[in-house]
Structure 1
């Protein structure tokens, strides 16, 4: 059985064209997430791979279809990747990945249903390599990771020492370091000439406020921000210009359309009319947005923007 790294690198060297013009700013990341299941449910793939540019999934592959296919806006991009060759590359990666899952199950002397996940990638800032990572998990527990500075595979479970010894005997250490620090950044540079504008975009949030009265005569005010990008956002409530401690909040979640949504809520007495306002700060906004709560109607960001402009 061949090691993963030489297989990946030989195929990447074969498929990667010359790197085009320089990229700037960032940071930008290219990463891959692999998942293998020893006993997949009927009709589900045993192996899946997803590629990400920053936080955006740009292609997906699974062992059932045998095809690497672009996702989201990358479906309309021409020339960024030869998807037929990428499908062959992902098949080679998947075959090796599943062989390693069998090896680990053998080390544990277990034939049950198990999962193996791997994630690796690199980061650029101002066209310069910043950092990289390569790590694996077995049944959702950290299993082994690569340290580029030593360089070496670092076992995170006792049995992972078997994997470390095997991979390092087969010469994967230098190959992994070369891939993470040289090949991966070159591929990312190439992808960025097709993707930088999309990754750098600033989509302002839409905001809505809802309320409902629950047990013990308590009213919940909920402020929802959605359709915004990039991810960082600040949401908080005030009562008569005084900040109200948040009761509940939701971390920014990536939506199917490639934007984020987040929310924050507070509980007040149903007799308390405030005034209450939700404040939103995001990099796309020239100034923070203040959205007042109106008990008689749901408030939208468009309404608040009009009132602020007047």
Structure 2
């Protein structure tokens, strides 16, 4: 999946970029999908960034976001064939699980699998693998034992079948060896997207309801990475927040967050919104008063 680099170069590479970094996948299977929905979908993530998508309609794994411009990281033809094989196994498992619940006849059912690994300082430091059926946790993998742990009585059937087929050791090897190695390979191409620092643009909106209460909302847009701190002050005293929120990762690979306070509509302020983010050398402050 990429050019060969020496162990010295790899060690130096991670000395300066310790992480943590993660590689994870989300598989979703639907027993009776609507006409516009694929019965099987798979998405890969490096950290919080989706870097490829596959579905049963296109039967093709395709890069997403900035990875569309990256050459050499993934052999997409091979990845498509791999996901086609994974699709067949995954959908067979969904059929098995529906049988354990005696759900084969009625209704539409969903099976989701999430798995991945994390490295820090070039060393494996954790992994997970779990499945859910119709929104309820179904079975998860324990790398220490190693074994599949049923989370529903019906999942005992899956545990017995998978472990009889040798899945426990194969899954452990994948999570602790193959997954971290693949992540290291991907990071040669992906670090510019993952280590970047996009500063937030900050704005304030004011809205009066029923002529009595004014809501001041401070919005931070287009920042990366995700962690951010936002709060309001008046006369150097922190004001209790009425509400706050965070948006999902946008199509351009950045985040949005907001924090709001409610004040009397006749209050002239000033009120200040403070934003702290790793991209900022010092906290950013934006002030509102009645004249604005």
TM-score w.r.t. length of structure 1: 0.89
Q: Is the 8 A contact 1:19 1:189 kept in 2?
A: no
Cα drift, residue 275 of structure 1 = 1.1
Task: Count residues with an aligned counterpart.
Answer: 282
Cα drift, residue 134 of structure 1 = 0.4
Cα drift, residue 296 of structure 1 = 3.8
Task: Report what 1:134 is aligned to.
Answer: 129
Q: Is the 8 A contact 1:279 1:289 kept in 2?
A: yes
Task: Report what 1:5 is aligned to.
Answer: none
Structure 2: give runs of 5+ residues left out of the alignment. Answer: none
Task: Report what 1:58 is aligned to.
Answer: 51
Q: Relative to 1, partners in 2 of residues 1:251 and 1:43: Cα closer, same or farther, differing over 3 Å?
A: closer
Q: Relative to 1, partners in 2 of residues 1:19 and 1:100: Cα closer, same or farther, differing over 3 Å?
A: farther
Matched, 1:82 2:54: no
Task: State the alpha-carbon separation in 2 of the partners of residues 209 and 19 from structure 1.
Answer: 50
Task: Report what 1:174 is aligned to.
Answer: 169
Q: Is the 8 A contact 1:234 1:281 kept in 2?
A: yes
Cα drift, residue 253 of structure 1 = 2.6
Cα drift, residue 241 of structure 1 = 1.1
Task: State the alpha-carbon separation in 1 of the partners of residues 147 and 266 from structure 2.
Answer: 63
Cα drift, residue 19 of structure 1 = 6.0
Greater mean deviation of Cα atoms: 77-86 or 252-261: 252-261
Q: CA RMSD in A?
A: 1.2
SS of structure 1 residue aligned to 2:66: helix
User: Which of 180, 189, 200 is residue 185 of structure 1 equivalent to?
Assistant: 180
Task: State the alpha-carbon separation in 2 of the partners of residues 272 and 43 from structure 1.
Answer: 51
Q: Is the 8 A contact 1:19 1:186 kept in 2?
A: no
Q: Is the 8 A contact 2:2 2:73 kept in 1?
A: no
Matched, 1:151 2:139: no
Task: Report what 1:301 is aligned to.
Answer: none
Cα drift, residue 198 of structure 1 = 1.3
TM-score w.r.t. length of structure 2: 0.94
